[in-house]
Amino acid sequence: MADPMKIRATLVGDATEIKVLMSHEMETGQRKDAQGAVIPAWFIQNVTVAHGGTTVLAAQWGPAVSKNPFLSFKFKGGAKGDKVTIVWTDNRGDKRTDEATIV
Amino acid sequence: MNRRRRQVLKSGSGMTLLALVAAAGWLKPGDASAQSWNKAAFDTKSMADTMKALGGGEPAQSKDIVFFQTPDIAENGAVVPVGIISNIPKTESIAVLIEKNPNMLAAVFDIPAGTEPSISTRVKMGQSSNIYALVKADGKYFVAAKDVKVTIGGCGG
């Protein structure tokens, strides 16, 4: 299981700003190791951010997203104390779910 | 039929199953709730092919798509910040494409109503190239480009 995500959910005016830092290799499948063998691709494919049972952002990623991906966006309708749930799934089928409270 | 499904589940990883499902057209690409991954779109090498895989026509150039936090010169191609704001009403999704990467499409973000059409992330770039922001709004596609130079060696020149 991968390391937890670092999530910051802050209320700015009437919008909630989400900043996430995920821990993932995001291997492209283009690189070769010292022996010349191709390092297989290993990257996050789907990211879903939900607030109160509603999806506020759904992303599909390719291997061109940087290692230890960063993502930031804003949505309306959040309130202090609400929970925000973020889920990612990678191409090996690994999954990680983390939760943060809006401050 | 059922047995075949078992075999697929057993032999393939989740990804191949998803790809099969997506290829069969059971899941609409970009359907947020379905956790689909549009393999066809991520495998493409040109703008035209990407548009075909995403199911759109030729995108219109738009001045309402603005890049922010995106450098003119990136010292490290492995970590290039990209921020995109769409000022087009009814923005449904924002995609990031990098012209000279092995596969152009880097990421697609579906923007439900209530979420601001603005995202910021970091991408990898193999070499200096255009970054395209492709916005789908009200069923139509719009595009804006930004030229980013990648400095190899990282001396900031």
Q: Which domains does chain B have, with CATH numbers?
A: 56-150 (2.60.40.2470)
Output the 3-class SS for chain A: CCCCCEEEEEEECCEEEEEEECCCCCECCCCECCCCCECCCECEEEEEEEECCEEEEEEEECCCECCCCEEEEEEECCCCCCEEEEEEEECCCCEEEEEEECC
- Residue A25's closest CA among A79, A84, A66, A78? A66
The complex's ipTM works out to 0.94
Which of the 8 DSSP states describes residue B5?
Answer: H
CB contact under 8 A, B121 and A62: no
* Exposure letters A66-81 (e unless 16+ CB within 10 A, then b): bbebbbbbbbeebeee
The predicted model scores a pTM of 0.83
pLDDT of A26 strictly over 60: yes
pLDDT of A75 strictly over 80: yes
Question: For residue B157, what pLDDT is reported?
Answer: 43
Report the SS3 class of residue B94: strand
Q: CB distance from B22 to chain A under 8 Å?
A: no
Please list every residue in chain B whose beta carbon sits closer than 8 Å to the beta carbon of residue A65: 106-107, 121-124
Structure tokens, B129? 């190239």
Q: Which domains does chain A have, with CATH numbers?
A: 6-101 (2.60.40.10)
Probe site for chain B from A11, A27, A66 (most B CB atoms < 10 A): A66
Which of A56-60, A66-70, B45-49 shows the lowest per-residue confidence on average (mean pLDDT)?
B45-49
Report the SS3 class of residue B135: strand
Say which residue, A41 or B16, is predicted with more confidence: A41
CB contact under 8 A, A28 and B121: no
Question: For residue B36, what pLDDT is reported?
Answer: 84
Residue pair B135/B103 in contact (Cβ under 8 Å)? The answer is no
Nearest CA in chain B to A70: B121
Question: For residue B4, what pLDDT is reported?
Answer: 62
Partners of A17 in the β-ladder: A10, A74
Question: For residue A2, what pLDDT is reported?
Answer: 78
Question: For residue B151, what pLDDT is reported?
Answer: 87
Structure tokens, A63? 């291997």
Q: What is the mean pLDDT of residues A74-80?
A: 94
Question: For residue B141, what pLDDT is reported?
Answer: 95
Question: For residue B10, what pLDDT is reported?
Answer: 54
**pLDDT confidence bin for A1, thresholds 50/70/90:** low
Report the SS3 class of residue B24: coil
Contacts of B14 (CB under 8 A, 6+ apart): A89, A92, A93
Local confidence pLDDT in tens for the 157 residues of chain B: 566 665 554 554 445 544 544 444 444 444 444 468 999 999 989 888 999 998 888 899 999 999 999 999 998 999 999 999 999 999 999 999 999 999 999 999 999 999 999 999 999 999 999 999 999 999 999 999 999 999 864 444 4
- Residue A20's closest CA among A1, A40, A3, A41? A3
